[in-house]
Structure 1
Amino acid sequence: MSDSDLEDLLRSADELVEQKELRDDLRSADDLLCKVEAATAAAAAAAAAATAAATAVPAVSMMCWKKRDSEGNLIFARPRSTRNVSNQAGCSRNTDPPVDAPDPDCDLVFAPAIAPETVEGFLRDLQQSLSDTTGDEVVAQTPSASLLASTNWSTRTSFFSESWRAARPHLVNTVVAQANVGTHICQQCWSKTSVVWCRDCRPHPFFCADCDVSMHTRHPLHNRDATTAGYFQPLAPTTHVLNMALCSCVRFVPVEIPDKICGCASESLSLKPGKTVTVITMNGRHELSMPELACEACAATWTTGVDDLLRSDYWPATLHFATIYATDVFFSFEEMKMAAPGLSFQAYLRMLDQRTLRFGRTGKISLHQKFL
């Protein structure tokens, strides 16, 4: 074979190899194009499905709760630029909060996954509970007004003020009418005209003179008013009405009294007043007498001791107890001090003094710190 023939064969072989490589490249390009077209179609289908799902889900109402002060003004959060982020720089990525964790400095967002009409119903119920309007007034309001009142603090305040403004004349007239003494029948015997009105004997506060003595000899700490002067006149525990006039009487400190003090019959026991003591309660100061028992048959006597006072829920100022305190006075001061640490001891005493004057009694209260 000549050299020219050999060169022709080599040239033909090279052309065949180039054609095969070209066909392989074309086949690879076709495969790649098919893959690109399939991926594009899948992406388009996914986008269409996402669009359909988004249009099918109803809009969710977003409600943001804002902090307000006592006058209703908004309290804005601190700007993010002023927050202390120096500690976050040194933290590792593993200690960062999750992406879905709420930011404590952000306002709380409430997104109920419910239908819009259910949200409107919820807001109407919320407006009704926050406002002080009656059921008729709430029904009379339009749904749009109710929805606005539920989401707008100033609108709720306006509705609240309007309802009180409408009801205030009736409330004032009722209070003024209640101050009129009038004429009432005793609600105990239902036969005589009442002369005393007791603030603590509910729901039957009107008493005639005899029923007043019978009831409030056993309950001397009740707050009473006489009606004989044509107006309500506060009465001290040691004052009662006799023949349309105010008279003094003896009232005992309500403590436990034994049934027997000796072996004689109980009919021989007589109750007589002992020394006068000052009783301090949440209604102020009372001047009462300590009860004493005496047996007419054997001359045995019984007087109230410190143990008897403690069993009756009192605390003596001294062992000779010229002044005794209801334990509710101490517990109330403790509770008020816990709720309002700035409350002074003297302010608490002045409050008790004002309660004393309000209910027709006199005298200043001197309570030492060591008893609290």
Structure 2
Amino acid sequence: MSDSEIQENLMVLDNLVDHQELKDELQSLDDFLGELQEEEEAAAPAKMPEPRQPRVHWRKRDVHGNIVYARPRSSRHQSKKADHIQNIDPPFNAPDTNCEVAFAPETVECFLQDLQHSLSDSSGDEASPLGTPRDPLLASSNWSIRQSLFSERWRAERPRLVNTAAAKESVATHICQQCRSSPAVIRCCDCRPRPFFCAECDISMHTRHVLHNRDAMTAGFFQPLPPTTVVVDKSLSQCVRLVPVEMPEKICGCSPESLRVSPGKTVAVVTMNGRYDLSMPELFCEACQATWTAVVADLNGSDYWPATLQFATMYATDIFFSFEEMKMVAPGLSCQAFLRMLDQRTVRFGRTGKISADSFQKSF
């Protein structure tokens, strides 16, 4: 070995010794700073823990500045990845997704007891057995529990509602709520809150309100009646009812007292409650023999739409708006299905007759 090579090796050894000494000194300083920090933490009052600071790792380098590795190259990259994952500290307030939440046994037991009491309580407003008001449910914000409580209370209340509805259909003795003297023979659900009438008050009221749905009470049960049926001496009798259409106050120069109203031709009036068979009104002057009969313009002014110019059938305009609104929300609804519904309502209220689908479609 030449002198130059010996000299070069001696310089490398000197540098390595210097580096090792420097490393030892830095390590001792690092240990000293750690001890000082521990003493300060022990002397300081208790406070919220702070995020961990990353530790300094010193790397060994050769005389040329290259990193000197103490392990084989094959395990070096894996160690780097592991060190990188371990050195990434989570935020201080970040929740740990791997931890499991455990409830205390007494908390679970209290929750189950409150739930059992709530399900067994039909009213929800009664006091507890100890005489103190029951505390609100711990899980009152849970949708499934609220639905369960709602169904339970309805299940307890439903029999009473059904019994009340059935008892309402029992015919009892009532006094006429108009004259308050004669016994009632008619119930009109469209005249609430005073639905019970005697025979005379029924004729007086429903000669003007022809489209009301009435029930007779003479047979021991509520029997639906068409507007052309009245009760006379506790038996049913037929009469004539006029279409509610606007009529002029005078048709000639004579006194209005000389005007008389008489029934004209029979027509079918269709509303949302089905079909009514009524008569068109006609005016007659006893003084000058003048007459008046309704025309198409008079029907339009009273919110009717004639099926033909001779108006053997006419529709309340509200039925067209209702059918249009139903078609908008349910486009699959057919005209036939809508008219079958009206036919069912006709039968339900004690009337007869069918509604022509072709006539309704053309008028609509």
TM-score by length of 2: 0.65
Match of 2:328 in 1: 338
1:276 to 1:156, Cα distance in 2 relative to 1, 3 A: same
Match of 1:295 in 2: 285
Alignment of 1:262-281 (within 5 A): 262-281=252-271
1:342 to 1:296, Cα distance in 2 relative to 1, 3 A: same
Match of 1:216 in 2: 206
Asked whether 1:260 is paired with 2:257, we answer no
Q: Aligned-residue CA RMSD in angstroms?
A: 4.0
Tell me by how many angstroms 1:211 deviates: 0.3
Match of 1:136 in 2: 125
5+ residue gaps, structure 2, are: 1-25, 51-121
Match of 2:219 in 1: 229
Q: Among all aligned residue pairs of Structure 1 and Structure 2, give the percentage whose two residues are the same amino acid.
A: 65
1:310 to 1:134, Cα distance in 2 relative to 1, 3 A: farther
Tell me by how many angstroms 1:134 deviates: 6.6
Query: Does the aligned pair in 1 maintain the 2:336–2:357 contact within 8 Å?
Result: no
Tell me by how many angstroms 1:152 deviates: 3.6
State the one-letter code of the partner of 1:238.
Answer: T
Could you report, residue by residue, the CA deviation over 1:266-321 in whole angstroms, capped at 9, with x for unpaired residues? 11000000100000000000000000101010111111111111111111101110
Q: Distance in 1 between matches of 2:346 and 2:127?
A: 44
Tell me by how many angstroms 1:338 deviates: 1.4
Match of 2:167 in 1: 177
Match of 2:141 in 1: 150
Asked whether 1:361 is paired with 2:340, we answer no
Give the number of equivalent residue pairs.
272
1:170 to 1:260, Cα distance in 2 relative to 1, 3 A: same
Q: Distance in 2 between matches of 1:363 and 1:223?
A: 16
1:281 to 1:239, Cα distance in 2 relative to 1, 3 A: same
Match of 1:166 among 141, 156, 162: 156
5+ residue gaps, structure 1, are: 1-29, 54-132
Q: Distance in 1 between matches of 2:49 and 2:287?
A: 104
Q: Distance in 1 between matches of 2:350 and 2:295?
A: 29
Tell me by how many angstroms 1:236 deviates: 0.4
Match of 1:370 in 2: 362
Higher deviation after alignment, 354-363 or 306-315: 306-315
Tell me by how many angstroms 1:147 deviates: 3.9
Tell me by how many angstroms 1:166 deviates: 1.1
Tell me by how many angstroms 1:158 deviates: 1.6
Q: Distance in 2 between matches of 1:243 and 1:308?
A: 38
* Structure 1 segments (4+ residues) deviating >2 Å: 48-53, 133-143
Q: Give the SS at the match of 1:294.
A: strand
